[in-house]
Structure 1
Amino acid sequence: MLKKILIAAAIVVVGLVAVIATRPSTFAIERSTTIDAPSGVIYGYLEDFHRWPEWSPWDKLDPSQKRNYEGEKAGKGAIYSWSGNDQVGEGRMTITEASPKERVALVLEFLKPWKATNDVTFVLAESKEGTKLTWRMEGTNDFMGKAFSLVMDMDSMVGKDFENGLASLKTLGEAEAKKLVEEQAAREAAEKEAAEKAAAEAVQDAGSKEAAR
């Protein structure tokens, strides 16, 4: 009887391993949104890790996590590492490509609670509606990753975080763009007022000189 149970258990294990082995060896998660702001405004939040706490969904999970910045201050070569609670774990990001107003690419390394390395890209494309921002993450699934995918939908789980992050970027970007427009309008109004005042003073000065003759 025990022999039959062991054989049955072995068959189940072999079958499960076979099923896991058939799972995709790669994955890709992607979300997009359109932001009513110039691409340069959004780019500023992406290429500078110092600004990520303003919008990153993971920073909000542990506001007291330890942060460390290395390499370049922003853009290609900038490095950001973190260590926090069980929800955020420990990891590092390195910007490998930074094309102003167009694209930011980085390598994302998870160190704890598990190890994994993924490629992340942010692509910006301006249109009449604003700037379309696409956030994409790609990686490979090892055996444990494939097993995990049997019980957890990675796209739904991480995709929700992407959606929250994009929503924060939309709020911040549109508020900053509106502020820039208002500041530009105020500068133009001040310049116009100064020009009109200067013109009026010139006319008055010319009149005074004419009257003095």
Structure 2
Amino acid sequence: MGMQRIDVSTTTTAPAAAVYALLRDGASWPDWSPIGSFELESPGGDGGESVGAVRVFRTGRITSRERIVELVPERRLSYVLLSGLAIKDYRADIDLTEGPGGTTVRWSSSFRAKVPGTGWLYRRTLSDFIRKCVDGVAAKAAASAEPRS
């Protein structure tokens, strides 16, 4: 079974720090993504949502458990899927690149389907879901970074 890949990007006017803060805070995800709820199942090695933390996200009838595997402040958050979907070897890298026009948010994922012939369906569904996440975090970060009047 072949590796499936998803790569979704957008640019926000917000600084990388604002986007990174939202990504690190699992409790904020239901505010800017299609995710319905968040729970921190177990903290990471440095406490809270640090490397090794297991985060649980619920969307409709789907409950996914994810472990944070890499954090580079204001530049990258990476996680792997532990359970919740009929896929394996899932890893997502969310990279932030700050430039003169704002911050580019690039969400790259790869996985293999557990059931032969279903990889394309998961890729299509997850691509749509990730697009909503990328657009949502970009918009929320931009709104939170705007000066208050």
Distance 2:81 2:32 in 1: 17
**Matched ranges for 1:115-154 at <5 A:** 116-142=88-114, 144=115, 146-149=116-119, 152-154=120-122
| 2: CA distance, partners of 1:78 / 1:122 | 16
Gaps of 5+ in 1: 1-23, 184-213
- Counterpart CA distance in 2 for 1:138 and 1:78 is 20
Distance of 2:59 and 2:106 partners within structure 1:
27
Q: Distance in 2 between matches of 1:83 and 1:167?
A: 19
Q: Which structure features the higher share of helix residues?
A: 1
Distance 1:170 1:115, change over 3 A: closer
TM-score by length of 2: 0.84
Structure-2 separation of matches of 1:154 and 1:115 = 8
Greater gyration radius: 1
Alignment of 1:116-195 (within 5 A): 116-142=88-114, 144=115, 146-149=116-119, 152-179=120-147, 182=148
Aligned length: 146
1:115 and 1:135 mapped to 2: Cα distance?
Answer: 18
Shift of 1:119: 0.6
CA contact (8 A) 2:65 2:83 kept: yes
Which runs of structure 2 are paired with 1:75-94 in the superposition (5 Å)? 75-82=50-57, 85-86=60-61, 88=62, 90-94=63-67
Residue type matched to 1:73 in 2? G
SS at match of 1:168: helix
Distance 1:83 1:53 in 2: 9
Q: 1:30 and 1:40 mapped to 2: Cα distance? A: 22
Which residue is equivalent to 1:21? none
Higher RCO (Cα < 8 Å, 6 or more apart)? 2
Q: Relative to total residues, which structure has the larger strand share, 1 or 2?
A: 2
Structure 1 residue 102 displacement after superposition: 0.5
Secondary structure of 1:77's partner? Answer: coil
**Aligned pairs for 1:3-22 within 5 A:** none
User: For 2:65, what is the secondary structure of its paired residue?
Assistant: strand
Deviation of the 1:83 alpha carbon: 5.4
| Aligned alpha-carbon RMSD (Å) | 2.3
**Contact conserved, 2:29 with 2:35, CA < 8 A, in 1?**
no
Aligned-pair identity in percent equals 21
TM-score w.r.t. length of structure 1: 0.61
Structure 1 CA distance for aligned equivalents of residues 121 and 113 of structure 2: 13
Q: Counterparts of 1:28-39 in structure 2 under 5 Å?
A: 28-39=5-16
Measure, in 2, the Cα distance between the counterparts of 1:95 and 1:164: 20
Equivalent residues in 2 for 1:60-75 (5 A)?
A: 67-71=39-43, 72-75=47-50
